[in-house]
């Protein structure tokens, strides 16, 4: 298995070959799927799997298949329909410098740019983020508002599902043990639309979202809202979407709209209290993050450039600005 | 129960045999088997950056990267920077600018800064701070470390 180098062959050395540890370096999707079917666990960058092992959350499996060298999974491709296919082992470092991701799927770039440190972003993959299913993941809310569809491959075939059907709880997914996430597909960016992801953080690196929010704003020709999607980070057992925002269509983004978005976001949240924040603080702040995300997404939809990540370019308070752009209706 | 696997790692251009369970970290392989101890174990939890090495030129926390996953890739540690003429300019600049106090973070800090300058020879102060944002230092307050990197900007 593996064609790149002789050392990529699964190596076994034990008096009991049947219980020997294996480490397979897959170079094709077929090899990775076969290893999974044989009982191996996937390692992409290892930044969750290995750290989790070190922290005692879960023992490292004896049978591992590394998928970071599967070229097919490391690509970002423009689809014929104008959408984008992002391979499962595309790293956060790749995403934040990809011109198409930054231009058309900006909320995802906002999220990936905030993950860990440069070293974390060099090894951490979009697929790892998705499959670990943390409710605090920074790419989750962006993927939901951008309308992502995930593609899972197994010996039985391929199935596609939205992330909301994959995530079933903190660290839990509906994927079977033999299913490999191969790609994340994003639909073509709607005309006159923009997206943004903002999180509450206590420090600027090696941080996990206290709460966060992503927004997709589409405007009609007159500049009124035609579509609004908002998803929330770290206020429920999984990333959640704020439902029932369709009735905002036709309105112009102003302080009233933002306050309603904040109220509905707070109503949708069911946060916990933990070492990062209490539940009441989380509930309040997720409303603030939702307002910032909508305001920044609206500014981008109008053609203003707000540098990635929004977290580093947004000003707050009465004179809210982002990269020199006043954010409409934004007062707190 | 994990059993051992054997493979080779290329560290600073030299091939070394390595043997261990699949969970063996690149950090432990470098320190215990390759025998290079410039790379430090700080938190062993992907937080502090003391274990930073370059894999194919990009900074990675070696404590949380599987050694077996580094097969066939080029690993660079702090020992790979100096040559027969003496210290690498970054190492000298850290000394000249007072960027070194206890020294424990220094090898990892230098590896992150080295990767940054290789990719962006003329970074702003903000870009330098982002470049070393995965490296904790509890002594210097960072100011002199940033100055040590700034002293080398625009020299490519």
Identify whether residues B70 and B125 lie together within a single domain: no
In sequence order, what are the beta bridge partners of A167? A173
Q: Residue B154: what pLDDT? A: 79
For residue A225, whether the previous peptide bond is cis, meaning omega lies within 30 degrees of 0, is: no
Q: Residue A58: what pLDDT? A: 81
Identify whether residues A172 and A256 lie together within a single domain: no
Residue A331 lies in a domain: no
Partner-chain contact A93 B22, CB within 8 Å: no
Residue A332 lies in a domain: no
Question: Using one digit for the tens of pLDDT, what is the confidence trace for A138-187?
Answer: 999 999 999 999 999 999 999 999 999 999 999 999 999 999 999 999 99
Whether A6 contacts chain B with CB within 8 A: no
Q: Residue A50: what pLDDT? A: 84
Q: Residue A15: what pLDDT? A: 41
Q: Which domain holds residue A260?
A: 193-326
Q: Which of B80, B102, B133 is at the close of a domain?
A: B80
Cα–Cα distance, B145 to B117 (Å, whole number): 14
* Smallest CA–CA distance from B109 into chain A, residue: A119
Identify whether residues B19 and B72 lie together within a single domain: yes
Domain holding A20: CATH number? Answer: 3.30.43
Identify whether residues B62 and B23 lie together within a single domain: yes
Nearest Cα of chain A lies from the Cα of B104 at a distance, in angstroms, of 18
Which of B19, B68, B76 is the best mutation test for A, with the most CBs of A within 10 A? B68
Domain holding B135: CATH number? Answer: 1.10.150.120
Q: How many domains does chain B have?
A: 2
Of the candidate ranges A7-11, A217-221, A272-276, B90-94, the one whose mean pLDDT is the lowest: A7-11
Q: Which domain holds residue B116?
A: 89-150
Burial (0-12, 13-18, 19+ Cβ within 10 Å), A273:
exposed
Mean pLDDT within A188-209: 94
Q: Which residues of A touch B60 (CB under 8 A)?
A: 119, 122-123
Q: Residue A55: what pLDDT? A: 80
Partner-chain contact B66 A25, CB within 8 Å: no
More confident: B122 or B2: B122
Q: Residue A316: what pLDDT? A: 52
Answer whether residue B156 shows pLDDT above 80.
no
Residue A295 lies in a domain: yes
Mean pLDDT within A199-221: 95
Partner-chain contact B64 A25, CB within 8 Å: no
Domain holding B19: CATH number? Answer: 3.10.20.30
Mean pLDDT within A83-94: 98
Residue B61 lies in a domain: yes
Which of these, A53, A152, A34, lies nearest to B45 by C-alpha position? A53
Q: What is the DSSP string of A19-31?
A: G--EEEE--SHHH
Answer whether residue A10 shows pLDDT above 70.
no
Q: Which of A186, A218, A238 is at the close of a domain?
A: A186
Residues 212-231 of A with CB under 8 A from B: none
Answer whether residue A330 shows pLDDT above 80.
no
* Smallest CA–CA distance from A66 into chain B, residue: B69
Q: Residue A300: what pLDDT? A: 95
Residue B156 lies in a domain: no
Which of A119, A125, A307 is the best mutation test for B, with the most CBs of B within 10 A? A119
Q: How confident is the model at residue A321 (pLDDT cuts 50, 70, 90)?
A: low
Task: Using a pLDDT cut of 70, give the percent of chain A over it.
Answer: 89
Cα–Cα distance, A68 to A71 (Å, whole number): 8
Identify whether residues B120 and B54 lie together within a single domain: no
Identify whether residues B140 and B75 lie together within a single domain: no
Q: What global pTM score does this model have?
A: 0.93
Secondary structure of residue A239 in the 3-state scheme? coil
From the list B69, B131, B133, which residue is nearest A204 (CB)? B133
Of the candidate ranges A269-283, A306-320, B18-32, B38-52, the one whose mean pLDDT is the lowest: A306-320
Identify whether residues A218 and A295 lie together within a single domain: yes
* Smallest CA–CA distance from A11 into chain B, residue: B5
Identify whether residues A204 and A271 lie together within a single domain: yes
Q: Which residues of A touch B22 (CB under 8 A)?
A: 21-23, 60-64
Count CB pairs under 8 A between chains A and B. Answer: 119
Q: Residue A5: what pLDDT? A: 38
Answer whether residue B75 shows pLDDT above 80.
yes
Q: How many domains does chain A have?
A: 3
Q: Residue A16: what pLDDT? A: 43
Helix/strand/coil percent split, chain A, to 5: 35, 25, 45
Q: Which residues of A touch B59 (CB under 8 A)?
A: 118-119, 122
Question: Using one digit for the tens of pLDDT, what is the confidence trace for B17-49?
Answer: 999 988 899 999 999 999 999 999 999 988 999
Region of residue B153 (left: phi > 0; alpha: psi -120 to 50; beta: else): beta
Which of B22, B65, B146 is the best mutation test for A, with the most CBs of A within 10 A? B22
Identify whether residues B33 and B76 lie together within a single domain: yes
More confident: A60 or A200: A200
Domain holding A125: CATH number? Answer: 3.30.465.10
Q: Residue B73: what pLDDT? A: 97
Q: Residue A56: what pLDDT? A: 81
Answer whether residue A225 shows pLDDT above 60.
yes
Partner-chain contact A116 B4, CB within 8 Å: no
Q: Residue B20: what pLDDT? A: 93
The DSSP H or E segment spanning B125 is helix B125-131
Identify whether residues A207 and A95 lie together within a single domain: no
Which of these, A172, A174, A177, lies nearest to A38 by C-alpha position? A177
Mean pLDDT within A279-283: 98
Mean pLDDT within B59-70: 96
Residue bearing tokens 């006043």: A326
Angle at A29 between CA A26 and CA A30, to 5 degrees: 90
Whether A9 contacts chain B with CB within 8 A: no
Q: Which of B45, B80, B115 is at the close of a domain?
A: B80
Token code pair at residue A185:
């597909």
Answer whether residue A18 shows pLDDT above 50.
no
Residue A202 lies in a domain: yes
Identify whether residues A231 and A307 lie together within a single domain: yes
From the list A46, A53, A118, which residue is nearest B65 (CB)? A46
Identify whether residues B117 and B75 lie together within a single domain: no
Question: Using one digit for the tens of pLDDT, what is the confidence trace for A32-66?
Answer: 999 999 999 999 998 888 888 878 888 888 899 99
Residue A20 lies in a domain: yes
Answer whether residue A12 shows pLDDT above 60.
no
Identify whether residues A209 and A310 lie together within a single domain: yes
Which of A7, A8, A35, A118 is the best mutation test for B, with the most CBs of B within 10 A? A118
* Smallest CA–CA distance from B6 into chain A, residue: A11
Q: Residue A322: what pLDDT? A: 53
Answer whether residue B100 shows pLDDT above 70.
yes
Which of these, A185, A190, A184, A231, lies nearest to A211 by C-alpha position? A231
Q: Residue A19: what pLDDT? A: 63
Q: Which of B80, B112, B136 is at the close of a domain?
A: B80
Q: Please provide the average confidence, as pLDDT, over all residues in chain A.
A: 90
Residues 271-310 of A with CB under 8 A from B: none
């Amino acid at each position: 298995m593996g064609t790149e180098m002789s050392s990529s062959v699964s190596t076994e050395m034990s008096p009991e070959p049947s219980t020997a540890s294996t480490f397979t370096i897959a170079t094709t999707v077929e090899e990775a799927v076969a290893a999974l079917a044989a009982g191996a666990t996937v390692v992409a960058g290892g930044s969750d799997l290995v750290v989790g092992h070190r922290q005692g959350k879960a023992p490292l499996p004896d049978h591992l298949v590394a998928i970071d060298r599967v070229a097919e999974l490391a690509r970002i491709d423009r689809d014929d329909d104008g959408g984008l296919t992002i391979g499962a082992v595309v790293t956060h470092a790749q995403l934040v410098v990809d011109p198409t991701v930054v231009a058309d799927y900006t909320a995802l770039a906002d999220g990936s740019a905030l993950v860990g440190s440069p070293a974390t972003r060099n090894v951490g993959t979009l697929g790892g983020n998705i499959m670990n299913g943390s409710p605090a993941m920074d790419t989750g809310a962006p993927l939901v508002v951008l309308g992502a569809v995930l593609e899972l491959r197994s010996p039985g075939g391929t199935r596609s599902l939205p992330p909301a059907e994959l995530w079933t709880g903190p660290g839990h997914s509906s994927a079977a043990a033999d299913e490999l996430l191969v790609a994340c597909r994003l639909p073509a960016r709607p005309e006159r639309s923009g997206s943004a992801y903002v999180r509450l953080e206590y420090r600027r690196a090696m941080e996990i979202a206290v709460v966060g929010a992503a927004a997709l704003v589409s405007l009609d020709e007159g500049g009124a809202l035609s579509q609004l999607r908002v998803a929330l980070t770290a206020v429920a057992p999984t990333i959640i979407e704020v439902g029932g925002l369709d009735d905002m269509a036709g309105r112009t983004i102003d302080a009233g709209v933002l306050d309603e978005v904040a109220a509905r976001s707070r109503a949708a949240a069911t946060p916990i209290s933990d070492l990062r924040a209490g539940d009441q603080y989380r509930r309040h702040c997720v409303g603030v993050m939702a307002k910032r995300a909508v305001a920044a997404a609206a500014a981008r939809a109008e053609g203003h450039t707000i540098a990635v990540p929004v977290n580093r370019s947004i000003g707050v308070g009465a004179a809210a600005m982002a990269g020199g752009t006043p954010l409409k209706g934004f007062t707190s | 129960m994990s059993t051992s696997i054997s493979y080779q790692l290329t560290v600073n251009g030299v091939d070394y045999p390595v043997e261990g369970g699949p969970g063996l970290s690149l950090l432990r392989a470098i320190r215990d088997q390759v025998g290079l101890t410039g790379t430090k174990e700080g938190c062993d939890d992907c937080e502090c950056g003391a274990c930073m090495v370059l894999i194919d030129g990009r900074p990675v926390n070696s404590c949380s990267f599987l050694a077996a996953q580094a097969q066939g890739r080029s690993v660079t540690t702090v020992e790979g920077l100096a040559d027969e003429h003496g210290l690498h300019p970054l190492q000298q600049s850290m000394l000249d600018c007072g960027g070194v106090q206890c020294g424990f973070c220094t090898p990892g800090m230098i590896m992150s800064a080295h990767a940054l300058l290789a990719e962006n020879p003329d970074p702003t102060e903000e870009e330098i701070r982002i470049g070393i944002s995965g490296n904790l230092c509890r002594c210097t307050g960072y100011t002199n470390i940033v100055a040590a990197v700034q002293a080398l900007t625009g020299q490519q």
